[in-house]
Structure 1
Amino acid sequence: MRGASGIFSQPFVCVSHLSQTNHIVGILPARWASTRFPGKPLHLIAGKPLIQHVWDRCRKCSKLDDLIVATDDQRIYDAVIAFGGKVTMTSADHPTGTDRIAEAARAVPQATHIVNIQGDEPLIEPALIDELAAAMAADDSLDMATAANPLDPADPAVADPNVVKVAIALDGRALYFSRSPLPFFRNPVEGLPVLRHKGIYAYRRSFLERFVTWPPSPLEQAESLEQLRALENGASIRVLITDDTSPGVDTPEQAAHVEAILSSL
């Protein structure tokens, strides 16, 4: 049963030494409702709920001072408690995942930075999470950080609207995110990849609190991409290039694929 604060604490070993003034929390959003896969966070993969696999990966991080699951469902809450995790209940009425993250962050008032780790990526690389955390803590000019994988411009995924692409400036900051091919190669440019956006975000706390007060922006609504709201409001978003291509789980079929991967490790 959850306490009055809505959060259940388990010991979390703090191994972050980025700064005495920084406190970095990883938050794993986990909703019950899903059109394609209801109850996904509790789907068993290799004998453990999906959300526990993600939790276990995140526990290997060295740059997180705290780790929390944010959920809107008592069943998920109870399951996290059962495997010894830390969890907070959030409203079921949030319009976006970022709003859920912002509410969960209130449970950790000392947090200066928040890393939003998708609760359906059981093979996420802990090193990528650490890299995002370190990038945010090292650069006071950043509002956000995220990641992307290079794609060959001829890869069929470039034309897939379900695959979000990002274009970056020479200094590694995001210029635009789109479901369309990005950039459009009118001329071939040797060595220029297409960058597939990976849905992990790190935020400066003060920026996250501002972000959720802004209404959905025009480009955000057109592309159905929350990160465009940040760009349209002048945010600075660092994009880390990574070779982490770990698959997410959006369907039962993808869960079976991940189970096969885990069985082969």
Structure 2
Amino acid sequence: MKIIAVIPARYASTRFPAKLLQDLGGKTVILRTYEATLETKLFDDVFVVTDSELIYNEIVTNNGKAIMSIKEHESGSDRIAEAVQNMEVDIVINVQGDEPFIDIEPLQKVIDIFKKDAEKKVDLASLMFEIKDKTEIENPNNVKVITDQNGFALYFSRSVIPYPRAANVGVRYMKHIGIYAFRKQALLDFYSLPMLSLEASEKLEQLRYLEYGKRIKMVETTHASIGIDTPEDLERARKILSEKE
């Protein structure tokens, strides 16, 4: 089974333009993410795929592997699908370019889902962790997910799901972490299918998979991701890095 990691990297960002090229302890955010992904030693290969010559050059001048997108893309899945469509791979892991503190354990968990899935019932695997703070739960930037009893995703939303009409019924609120593992065919299917209303409404690409009947296996982790979506997030990341060093 050939497993690769692909890091989709857009230059533009609504909340924080050029965030991937910001300095984080002497290296850019995207370079730190790329190097951290390599250092896990979980993958047969690691690529950055981007629409930006600046990001492309940042990776290749530091002896990394990068691919320039040919087309404009609405989502990371589209960008990755274009990049891997002619590659001989089985599983593709999407690592977010703005998460430089990647951990081995959660990545290993999503890879293991496919290694144990002999009947190929899983199209995608992804991660979630429990959140309890009311402000975190209600924050629309935190995507929530609900699953069935077997851990397959039923729905993702920026809204509070489930709605807490009744208290003390054992509901846990799970935040989605944007690391995906795809079977290559599921990724190519996504690339060929048009966006439908749920995805368009929530601006969540994972809903396209659900709307077309793909099965997303969710894996719980205790490793909360540290994404960089705002200048404040970057300052927090700089503080974390200085503490690590």
TM-score, length basis structure 1: 0.87
Q: Which has a greater percent of helix?
A: 2
Question: What is the aligned partner in structure 2 of residue 115 from structure 1?
Answer: 93
Is the alpha carbon distance of 1:106 and 1:213 closer, same or farther for their aligned partners in structure 2, counting shifts above 3 Å?
A: closer
Residues 21-59 of structure 1 show CA distances to partners (whole Å, capped at 9, x for unaligned) of x11110011111223322222211000011111112212
Match for 2:48: what amino acid?
A: V
Shift of 1:126: 2.1
Does the CA contact (< 8 Å) of 1:63 and 1:130 recur in 2? yes
Matched residue SS, 1:123? coil
Separation in 2, partners of 1:106, 1:218:
26
Residues 53-77 of structure 1 show CA distances to partners (whole Å, capped at 9, x for unaligned) of 1112212324311110101111111
Shift of 1:146: 0.7
Match for 2:121: what amino acid?
A: S
The reply on whether 1:226 has 2:208 as its aligned counterpart is: no
Separation in 1, partners of 2:214, 2:14:
31
From 43, 58, 78, the counterpart of 1:99: 78
Separation in 1, partners of 2:127, 2:168:
22
Question: What is the aligned partner in structure 1 of residue 35 from structure 2?
Answer: 56
The reply on whether 1:90 has 2:69 as its aligned counterpart is: yes
Does the CA contact (< 8 Å) of 1:62 and 1:130 recur in 2? no
Shift of 1:191: 4.4
CA RMSD, 1 decimal: 1.5
Identical columns (%)? 37
Match for 1:56: what amino acid?
A: E
Separation in 1, partners of 2:84, 2:235:
32
Match for 2:22: what amino acid?
A: H
Is the alpha carbon distance of 1:189 and 1:204 closer, same or farther for their aligned partners in structure 2, counting shifts above 3 Å?
A: farther
Does the CA contact (< 8 Å) of 1:124 and 1:244 recur in 2? no
The reply on whether 1:141 has 2:130 as its aligned counterpart is: no
Question: What is the aligned partner in structure 1 of residue 109 from structure 2?
Answer: 131
Shift of 1:190: 5.3
TM-score, length basis structure 2: 0.93
Match for 1:124: what amino acid?
A: I
Question: What is the aligned partner in structure 2 of residue 238 from structure 1?
Answer: 217
Alignment map for 1:163-174 (pairs within 5 Å): 163-174=142-153
Separation in 2, partners of 1:160, 1:254:
15
Separation in 2, partners of 1:157, 1:82:
39
Matched residue SS, 2:175? strand
Does the CA contact (< 8 Å) of 1:64 and 1:133 recur in 2? no
Match for 1:115: what amino acid?
A: I
Residues 175-229 of structure 1 show CA distances to partners (whole Å, capped at 9, x for unaligned) of 1111111112222345431001111111100111011111111211122211111
Matched residue SS, 2:219? strand
Does the CA contact (< 8 Å) of 2:9 and 2:50 recur in 1? yes
Match for 1:64: what amino acid?
A: F
Residues 121-146 of structure 1 show CA distances to partners (whole Å, capped at 9, x for unaligned) of 01121221122122123211100011
Alignment map for 1:12-51 (pairs within 5 Å): 22-51=1-30
Does the CA contact (< 8 Å) of 1:90 and 1:103 recur in 2? yes
Equivalent residue pairs, number: 242
Does the CA contact (< 8 Å) of 2:11 and 2:20 recur in 1? yes
Listed as ranges, the gaps of 5+ residues in structure 1 are 1-21
Question: What is the aligned partner in structure 2 of residue 14 from structure 1?
Answer: none
Structure 1 range deviating more: 180-189 or 205-214: 180-189
